């Protein structure tokens, strides 16, 4: 799917990623799909290659982390909420090498939903959300999976940078 078929919010996210997170330009990522429940980012192999000729693990985890962050960014933007979104913790498993251009797909696990997250944002000015991301292989299965917890803080409601703690969220 190209940029013409993406929502205005998804296109704005692509612009913001390139403007605010310089490594996204180096990764040469782009938004391939967004349907409200999942976000797919894609990246070419060439700028993300390692010494073995396959995708660099750091590029895979970066693309998955950005996909999870972007999914939450798009959901908060759709509700006209301005939030700072952070990765609280994550775990990654590398399962197979990637020898071609690749995608990272982010979605909420079945046990999570946006309703409780947005209720927490409304009540406390902050909330947390688990996101699962995967890099699918063309022949089926996954090359890597990421399970992450993200924290969102409504802008203007967070403590100073020195006081901020993710543990209370």
Q: For 118-141, what is each residue's pLDDT tens digit? A: 999 999 999 999 999 999 999 999
What pLDDT score does 162 carry? 47
Q: By C-alpha distance, which of 79, 56, 82, 77 is closest to 135?
A: 56
What pLDDT score does 169 carry? 61
What pLDDT score does 1 carry? 39
Q: Which residue has the tokens 């209370």?
A: 168
Q: By C-alpha distance, which of 38, 44, 33, 36 is closest to 1?
A: 33
Angstrom distance (rounded) from CA 12 to CA 34 = 12
- Express the helix, strand and coil content of the chain in percent, nearest 5 each: 35, 35, 35
Given a contact cutoff of 8 angstroms between Cβ atoms, the answer to whether 143 and 88 are in contact is no
What pLDDT score does 88 carry? 96
Q: Which domains does the chain have, with CATH numbers?
A: 3-154 (3.10.129.10)
Low-confidence ranges of the chain (pLDDT < 50): 1-4, 162-163
* pTM of the predicted model as reported, rounded to 2 decimal places: 0.90
Given a contact cutoff of 8 angstroms between Cβ atoms, the answer to whether 122 and 148 are in contact is no
Angstrom distance (rounded) from CA 126 to CA 152 = 5
């Amino acid at each position: 799917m190209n940029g013409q078929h993406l929502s205005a919010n998804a296109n704005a996210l692509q612009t913001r990623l390139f403007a605010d997170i310089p490594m996204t330009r180096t990764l040469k990522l782009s938004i391939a799909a967004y349907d409200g429940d999942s976000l797919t980012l894609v990246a070419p192999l060439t700028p993300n290659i390692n010494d073995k000729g396959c995708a660099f693990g750091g590029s895979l985890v970066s693309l998955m982390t950005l996909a999870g962050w972007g999914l939450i960014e798009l959901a908060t933007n759709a509700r006209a909420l301005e939030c700072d979104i952070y990765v609280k913790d994550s775990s990654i498993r590398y399962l197979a090498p990637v020898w071609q251009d690749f995608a990272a797909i982010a979605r909420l696990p079945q046990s999570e939903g946006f309703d409780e997250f947005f209720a927490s944002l409304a009540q406390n000015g902050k909330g947390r959300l688990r996101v699962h991301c995967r890099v699918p292989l063309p022949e089926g299965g996954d090359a890597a999976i990421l399970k992450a917890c993200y924290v969102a803080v409504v802008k203007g409601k967070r403590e100073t940078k020195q006081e901020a703690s993710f543990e209370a969220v």
